[in-house]
Amino acid sequence: MLIMELKVFECPGQEWDEFASRYTDLIFYQSLWSEVLKKGLGGQPLYFYLKEGGEIVAGLPGVLLNFKIIKILYASIPYGHFIGEGVYYQPFLELLEEEFKRRGIGQARLTESPFSESCSLETFIPMAAKCTLLDFNRFAEGKVREGYRSEVRRAVRKAEKSGVFVKRADSREEVETFYRLYLSSMERNRAIAKYPLQWFYGLYEILVQQRRADFLFALKGLDKYVAGVFLVYSPTSVHYLHNGSDEAYLESRPNDLVVDHIIQEGMREGKAVLDFMGSDPDDLSLIRFKEKWGSQSRDIFTYVKDYHPLRCKILELGKRWASSRVGSRLVKMIRK
């Protein structure tokens, strides 16, 4: 009988990539993404894998973030879950949970990918999000805008008539410009700005410079940045990972023009899907924006398990406070 062994790559490379590529083409499962997580978030990549007879049969990419009061394993950001042969998932999970406890991990969060079959984890708590995907096959080549609803076509034309245009970031200095737009949107929506400036620098330095990602901006005039999107590219899909905008210019519909640009460019490059990523199921206006292009939304789940419940409770209370009106103002003052 072959022996199963649980191992981990702290610096994943070719062996992991060859295994992962047999099951998914998403960049978020590749070793390159672990470099982004390490540089941008200061996390420790932990790419767990199960070997049987010298062959990797199951894997789980993740990053360990140390919040001082608790260590949380994210598998992964934004997507991560088991890949490999399904028959090995249960013994893999049992060995993983022992390893989590040995490493002092206080919470584990495993997020499904909408591009892969997943498995429910009975001892974990499922937390739902809405993931929205746009299939480019619904558009005719050279006639993309004809496939939009009339209200969408009007919005795109309004942006163009208002003098808005789209450009790629071509300098590191524009990362901070994007970050200001991102913070503006988070503040407007009373949401926690979870990602630090260093995260966006990491994305630029590791992915943008390798043409694996882009910062796209909508400008009005020559130098007024009014909206921005950060895109990540997998071989067959485009991922709409972050966005931000200046509220004063929303009437000019810059976000609509940027999405139109993404669709047109994606089709020219032979991509199949625009992944609008996950949304809070209660954020109906955001979901409507994503669906108005002809996209379809589906539930995906993050499976959460607390190994240190008290510390998890303290962290959750801190997050709620930070997202409150008073807390968000204090966070903004500290950031300045």
Query: What is the torsional sign of CA 194, 297, 82, 30?
Result: negative
Note the Cα 163 to chain centre separation in Å.
30
Mean pLDDT of 57-83: 94
Pick the range with the lowest mean pLDDT from 189-193, 201-205, 287-291.
Answer: 189-193
**pLDDT tens across 100-116, in order?**
999 999 999 999 999 99
Name which residue leads in pLDDT, 318 or 253.
Answer: 253
Around Cβ 215, how many Cβ atoms within 10 Å? 22
What is the per-residue pLDDT across 236-263, written as a single tens digit (0 to 9) for each?
999 999 999 999 999 999 999 999 999 9
44 pLDDT more than 80: yes
Q: Over 70: is that where the pLDDT of 330 sits?
A: no
pLDDT band at 324 (very low <50, low <70, confident <90, very high): low
Contacts of 168 (CB under 8 A, 6+ apart): 214, 215, 216, 217
Q: Which of 287, 275, 294, 295 is nearest to 233 (CA)?
A: 275
Encoded amino acid at 113, one letter: S
In our burial notation (b when 16+ CB lie closer than 10 A, e otherwise), range 163-174 reads ebbbeebeeeeb
Element (H, E) at 293: none
CA distances, 189 to each of 122, 179, 182, 244, 304 (Å): 34, 15, 11, 11, 25
**Ranges for all domains in the chain classified under CATH 3.40.630.30:** 4-123+301-325, 132-294
Per-residue pLDDT at 322: 61
| Architecture field, domain 4-123+301-325 | 3-Layer(aba) Sandwich (3.40)
pLDDT of residue 117: 85
Inter-helix orientation angle 254-268/150-161, to 10°: 110
Q: Are 323 and 182 in contact (CB under 8 A)?
A: no
Going by C-alpha positions, the residue among 237, 256, 236, 239 that lies closest to residue 203 is: 239
Q: If we measure between CA atoms, which residue out of 97, 57, 99, 62 comes closest to residue 79?
A: 62
Q: What is the DSSP string of 104-172?
A: T--EEEEE--TTS-----TTSEEEEEEEEEEEGGGS-TT-GGGGS-HHHHHHHHHHHHTTEEEEE--ST
Mean predicted lDDT score pLDDT of the chain: 93
Element (H, E) at 211: none
Tokens of 214: 């882009």
| pLDDT value, residue 335 | 39
**pLDDT average, residue stretch 147-175:** 97
CATH number of 132-294: 3.40.630.30
* Mean pLDDT of all residues in 61-90: 94
Classified as helix, coil or strand, 12 is coil
Q: What would the pLDDT profile of 128-158 be if each residue is shown by its tens digit? A: 999 999 999 999 988 999 999 999 999 999 9
